[in-house]
Amino acid sequence: MRTLAMILAGGRGSRLGVLSDKRAKPAVPFAGKYRIIDFPLSNCVNSGITTVGVLTQYRPRSLMDHIRNGAPWDLDRLNGGVYILSPYQGRKDSDWYANTADAIYQNLDFIHNHKPDYVLILAGDHVYKMDYSILINFHQDKQADVTVATLQVDPDEASRFGILQTSSDLRVTDFEEKPRQPKGTLASMGIYVFSRDALERALREDAEDGSSSHDFGHNIIPKMINNNYRVFAFPYGGYWVDVGTIQAYWEAHVDLLADNPTLDLLDREWVIHTRSEERPPVNIRTGATVNHSLITDGCVIEGSVEYSVLSPGVRVHRGAVVRYSIVMTDAVIEPEAVVDHSIVDKRVVVGRGAHIGYGTDFTENTEFNISTGISVVGKNTLIPPNLKVGRNVVIGSDLNDDHFNGDPIRGGQNVGVQTN
């Protein structure tokens, strides 16, 4: 049976703030050497699915540069492989994808040309490992029109998800997207398997509905339940996280630093593939200390690093301290600087003696819902020497000395960030 995977990778990820200003959310770096989209791509290949469409929209260049011809995932094939599907202006003058279901609807010709028996629809911005063949076998056994992958969530988190009710045989009897008062805790993971004919029929019915927002969670799945399609819930019990907020993104990295992390990146039976550039080995110099951290190729460490994740080419100078932080590619932490409970994007320079994550002022950053002390510095920014940056602060991209007046930046503030 032939399965075609469609990865929805066009999201902006606005809750990630400056981390997604210059890249789509699925292209945001993760765990030092990966991008978020590496996880669904690797899951596809490891599950034996070798025809994959990646639907892009917002700032697709970094994502396209990363995927290219799909070689790192063994998707550079004559038959099948990976396809980048961008929105285009067609005969009906449609252009931007209106929503998740509309994105798939605009690519029905691509689906039809590949003639799959099943269409696996995935989000490109979740971190997890899943054998999709087990999900597809479940779908076959149930003779389902659509199967929704599900997991149990905390009651306090349920309103962020699509919440399902099922009968004893796991047939879905009710689905409500992001309810204010959830009826339960069985949540959709945003992963769907459709039988192709059912998908095409449901999308065409939805396209004719002038009141629809053309979204799988809000429209397609509830309509299919009401129209007596065979909709089933597949229970998933592994690690899965939507790294869609700054807090969730930071916490997912902290999870990786456990002695026995739930998401095992060392598992050679289920490799997460990525496109890696050639870098020299890590250089840990005399006097440096490194504890409970992930350090990737090309890093040079002369200072102290603890409970942190460093991407390729990071330089931590003598006397500098990095703790409980995520530091991305080619960032430089100059002598005597401190980076504490922070996320530092690519090519940032933290000047000599500067301190990111300073003090005990935990004033909430209401724009980005940060209250636990995490501060963020955007791509290519130069933090001046000796500047003190408080907690829950977000600093924009491409800033230099001219954007700072030398005064300490208090907790909860934003600098150089375009806010609503």
Q: What is the mean pLDDT of residues 103-108?
A: 93
Residue 230 has pLDDT above 90, yes or no: yes
**Model pLDDT for residues 343-399, shown as the tens digit of each residue:** 999 999 999 999 999 999 999 999 999 999 999 999 999 999 999 999 999 999 999
Retrieve residue 9's tokens.
Answer: 């990778």
What domains, with CATH codes, occur in the chain?
Answer: 3-256 (3.90.550.10), 283-415 (2.160.10.10)
Q: What is the mean pLDDT of residues 12-40?
A: 90
Retrieve residue 64's tokens.
Answer: 């396209």
Beta bridge partners of 55: 8, 85
Given this model, what pLDDT does residue 21 score?
A: 86
pLDDT range class, residue 289, cuts 50, 70, 90: very high
Residue 91 has pLDDT above 50, yes or no: no
Task: Mark 348-375 as b/e (b = at least 16 C-beta within 10 Å).
Answer: bbbbbbbbbbbeeeeeebeebebbebbb
Q: What is the mean pLDDT of residues 127-147?
A: 98
What would the 3-class secondary structure string for the chain be? Answer: CCEEEEEECCCCCHHHHHHHCCCCHHHCEECCCEECCHHHHHHHHHCCCCEEEEECCCCCHHHHHHHCCCHHHCCCCCCCEEEEECCCCCCCCCCCCCCHHHHHHCCHHHHHHHCCCEEEEEECCEEECCCHHHHHHHHHHCCCCEEEEEEECCHHHHHHCEEEEECCCCEEEEEEECCCCCCCCEEEEEEEEEEHHHHHHHHHHHHCCCCCCCCHHHHHHHHHHHCCCCEEEEECCCCEEECCCHHHHHHHHHHHCCCCCCCCCCCCCCCCCCCCCCCCCCEECCCCEEECCEECCCCEECCEEECCEECCCCEECCCCEEECCEECCCCEECCCCEEECEEECCCCEECCCCEECCCCCCCCECCCCECCCCEEECCCCEECCCCEECCCCEECCCCCHHHCCCCCECCCCEECCCCC
**CA within 13 Å, CB half, 125:** 25
Given this model, what pLDDT does residue 88 score?
A: 62
For the entire predicted model, the pTM comes to 0.94
Retrieve residue 167's tokens.
Answer: 């009968």
pLDDT range class, residue 24, cuts 50, 70, 90: confident
**Model pLDDT for residues 74-87, shown as the tens digit of each residue:** 999 988 999 999 87
Given this model, what pLDDT does residue 95 score?
A: 60
Cβ(118)–Cβ(193) below 8 Å = yes
Residue 45 has pLDDT above 90, yes or no: yes
Percent of the chain with pLDDT over 70: 97
Given this model, what pLDDT does residue 332 score?
A: 98
Residue 93 has pLDDT above 60, yes or no: no
Q: What is the mean pLDDT of residues 323-333?
A: 98
Low-confidence winner among 35-39, 59-63, 110-114 (lowest mean pLDDT): 59-63
User: Hey, how many other C-beta atoms are within 10 angstroms of the C-beta on 328?
Assistant: 23
Given this model, what pLDDT does residue 90 score?
A: 53
Tell which wins on pLDDT, 252 or 91. Answer: 252
**Model pLDDT for residues 178-199, shown as the tens digit of each residue:** 999 999 999 999 999 999 999 9
pLDDT range class, residue 89, cuts 50, 70, 90: low
Candidates 227, 173, 240, 156; CA nearest to 164 is 173
Scan for tokens 């049976």, then name that residue.
1
Q: What is the mean pLDDT of residues 308-335?
A: 98
Candidates 3, 50, 46, 1; CA nearest to 193 is 3
Residue 92 has pLDDT above 70, yes or no: no
Mean residue pLDDT of the chain comes to 94
